[in-house]
Structure 1
Amino acid sequence: MPQLRQAPTARLRRLAMELRQLRERTGLSREQVADATDINRATLYRIETAQAKPQVRTLRALLDVYGVPTARQDELVAILRLAKEESWLHVTSESLPGQYATYIGFESEAKGLLNYESSFVPGLLQTEAYARDVIRASDPELSPNEVENRVVARMTRQAQHDPSPALWAIIDEAVLRRRVGGPKVMRQQIERLVTDSQQPHVTLQVIPYDVGGHPGMHGSFVILQFAEGVHDVIYIETSAADLFLDSENDLRRYNRIFDRLRAVAASPAKTRDLMTHLLTDME
């Protein structure tokens, strides 16, 4: 009986993604990299698609060709050494560009997203004005340029999904009631949600206040679903650090939580009715 290939962990997929992006930024083809490093082109393809775990000397050779500084090389080697572990990938807020790139990379490769949000409209459904106010309010230490860079990144994320992954979003009613950016911004945002909720790849549900306590009260999360043979990943964002979880136990637990949230939330049709009534009240 053939041996099943172990699905790549979040760490290995992150490393593969970064190596692919580094090569593309240098403008080198796989053939050129193979010539420069004596690494077989097929092997390089397997490394870049997380089908193979490179040896440390192979990784160093690639990073040298890509002109990566020693300090960053050491960070990627550390990820490589932990890549066999099926646990969690932790990224501190001190490396925000890297953590955001990691999530965007995973999101761009996912075939489906299960997203629960207790405080914000999901990023893929935000208007530009709402995104700007949320980013500014949630991190007052950001400079105006940093705020704008993140707004642009969020809008670019929305525009680049072709085809768009299936998005099943569940939000707490408080997300709709909190007037982020003022009445005008919030009205435009709810109108956007009503429109997006009718898209074939989007399912939107709201958990009404009268449900009372529910399993999502611990906080927001995203389950990123990938093609068969590749582990799904759970993404949890906090003010101190972001977590990427991919153990079987974590995946079972968060999928159960999402199923329970789906069960207590209003149906997509009733959710649209709720949002429509909110818009009427705002007139």
Structure 2
Amino acid sequence: MRVPPGRPTIRSRQVAGELRRLRKQAGFTTGQVGAQLGLSQAKVSRVETGSSGLRVNDVAAMLGLYRVPEPRQAEILDLVRRAAEPDWVQVHGRGLPEQWQTLIDWESKAVALRSNHAWLVPGLLQTADFARAALRDTAPAALSESELDALVAARLARQAILSRDSPPTVHALLGEMALKVPVGGPGVLAGQLRHLLEVVRKPHVVVRVVPLSAGAHPGLDGAFLLMEFHRDPPLVYTEHRTKSLFLDDDAAVAAHRAAWDRVAERALPQAESVRLIADLADRNG
């Protein structure tokens, strides 16, 4: 079975990136892989960049060479077989950090991130205390301390991209209510607001507040993250109670981009947003 080349889908892009990571982890060069498997170095490189169609047999041979455990091989080969399908739904379980790893992978490759969150400060900008309280209080079932520790660590792992040498530009639209809900109590909220004031000092980060006076707008419909890449098509990520959804369909991406633009039109400029956040931080102590 062969998935034809063309516009890369989210699954083919994920497989390509994973094969590149696994090869490096195993200590092989593309030339060595080609020599071992009877492929040209150029072919291996094209597979790893997503510019070549994926063959199940080729991918299986690479995974075997890299000594990837069989359960993980099965997961990757399933992605190859379904590579032509648009979009990607991930069902949540209590092992949510594994689900977030996919999001971390895509965020690490992005050159621009644009988000909309009307009701809660997004995970990429949360403090550890705020994240713990938010995860604990919004979970559908009680979580143990060890589960909470793992979830908080996974959420904070996303934030490494904000401090790397070439970070993506980040433009977050936050509803005013997201800055007022006392998640974890006034002290935790105040710490979160002060953290936002620190984050916006980074030249690549913009945080703008959508005031309550803006009235109804598309951002009230649900949170989403629009990820843009250097060469590959953009993706949209949305997260719900039981599943996450990655969208790469042109129409879906265009709809979310248009929604983000409409919300941005109603948001305060960054300077006014910073003053509002600072005022709320002072009020909460």
Structure 1 length-normalised TM: 0.90
Contact between 2:174 and 2:209, CA under 8 Å: does it hold in 1? yes
Post-superposition offset of 1:136: 2.5
The range that moved more, 119-128 or 181-190, is: 119-128
Q: Which ranges in structure 2 are unaligned for 5 or more consecutive residues? A: none
Contact between 2:126 and 2:192, CA under 8 Å: does it hold in 1? yes
The range that moved more, 93-102 or 187-196, is: 93-102
**2:202 is the counterpart of 1:204:** no
For residues 53-90 of structure 1, the C-alpha deviation after alignment (integer angstroms, 9 at most, x for no partner) is 221110111122233344443332232223234x2111
User: Aligned equivalents of 2:248 and 2:91: distance in 1?
Assistant: 18
Query: What residue is the counterpart of 1:184 in the other structure?
Result: 187
Report the residue type matching 1:90 in the other structure: V
User: Aligned equivalents of 2:97 and 2:80: distance in 1?
Assistant: 20
Query: What residue is the counterpart of 1:117 in the other structure?
Result: 117
Contact between 2:170 and 2:205, CA under 8 Å: does it hold in 1? yes
Query: What residue is the counterpart of 1:258 in the other structure?
Result: 260
Alpha-carbon RMSD: 2.0
**2:233 is the counterpart of 1:234:** no
Report the residue type matching 1:247 in the other structure: D
Query: What residue is the counterpart of 2:217 in the other structure?
Result: 214
Post-superposition offset of 1:267: 1.6
Q: Which ranges in structure 1 are unaligned for 5 or more consecutive residues? A: none
User: Aligned equivalents of 1:263 and 1:276: distance in 2?
Assistant: 22
User: Aligned equivalents of 1:240 and 1:166: distance in 2?
Assistant: 29
Query: What residue is the counterpart of 2:174 in the other structure?
Result: 171
Contact between 2:117 and 2:175, CA under 8 Å: does it hold in 1? yes
Query: What residue is the counterpart of 1:79 in the other structure?
Result: 79
**2:15 is the counterpart of 1:9:** no
User: Aligned equivalents of 1:83 and 1:135: distance in 2?
Assistant: 32
User: Aligned equivalents of 1:220 and 1:118: distance in 2?
Assistant: 7
SS in 2 for 1:148: helix
- The structure-2 alpha-carbon separation of the partners of 1:282 and 1:14, relative to structure 1 and needing over 3 Å to count, comes to same
The range that moved more, 108-117 or 43-52, is: 43-52
Query: What residue is the counterpart of 1:67 in the other structure?
Result: 67
SS in 2 for 1:205: strand
% identical aligned pairs: 34
Post-superposition offset of 1:157: 2.7
Post-superposition offset of 1:141: 4.1
Report the residue type matching 2:150 in the other structure: N
Report the residue type matching 2:175 in the other structure: D
- The structure-2 alpha-carbon separation of the partners of 1:162 and 1:134, relative to structure 1 and needing over 3 Å to count, comes to farther
Contact between 2:97 and 2:150, CA under 8 Å: does it hold in 1? no
Report the residue type matching 1:218 in the other structure: D
Report the residue type matching 1:68 in the other structure: V
Post-superposition offset of 1:21: 2.5
User: Aligned equivalents of 1:154 and 1:111: distance in 2?
Assistant: 20
- The structure-2 alpha-carbon separation of the partners of 1:138 and 1:45, relative to structure 1 and needing over 3 Å to count, comes to farther
For residues 224-279 of structure 1, the C-alpha deviation after alignment (integer angstroms, 9 at most, x for no partner) is 00113x11000011111111101110111011000000001122111112112212
Query: What residue is the counterpart of 2:159 in the other structure?
Result: 158
SS in 1 for 2:90: strand
SS in 2 for 1:74: helix
